[in-house]
Copies of this chain bind each other. A is one copy, B any other.
Amino acid sequence: MIHDPLEDLPGYALRRVSAAVMAKLAEGLSRLDLRPAESTVLLVIGANPGVTQSEVGRLLGIASANMAPLVARLADRGLIVREAVDGRSQGLTLSDGGRRITVKTRSVVDELESDLLARIPAVERAAFLKVLFALARDQDD
């Protein structure tokens, strides 16, 4: 057996777990023809009708250069509607079709999140989640 010099590294463990979760998410979303980044954008717009794409990008940590084609694709598919709020910003709203697909998206996401939670022993669950969310909030800089 070969030795794994990375097995004690929390950063590497985070990377592997995250990659596995993302792979499952991508697979679950594929039947909706949605990519992970698109699904999060839909969820944020659904929860905040009228947000601008720059606000969405800031919340999700997606650069504006990458938001542009992403939002354009969602608009081209008729999932979201863009309405000018001033001369340079557009408020984003889900269309009826967008709402339907967002409901399905949420169920895909929720199922994966449940699977993940189920794999965390109940004893450590609270501590694990507390640290994880704290780290995630921390990262917002």
Contact = CB atoms under 8 A, between A and B. Distances in A.
Nearest to A52: B2
A139 B12 contact: no
Interface in A110-141: 112-113, 116-117, 119-121, 123-125, 127-136, 138-139
Taken together, the copies of this chain in the complex come to: 2
A133 B116 CA distance: 14
Interface string A46-81: 111001000100011100000000000000000000
B132 A121 contact: no
Given A5-B44, A14-B21, A17-B14, A132 B128 contact: yes
Interface centre among A14, A60, A123, A124 (most CB of B within 10 A): A14
Given A2-B59, A5-B43, 5 more contacts: A10-B133, A14-B132, A15-B18, A121-B131, A128-B132
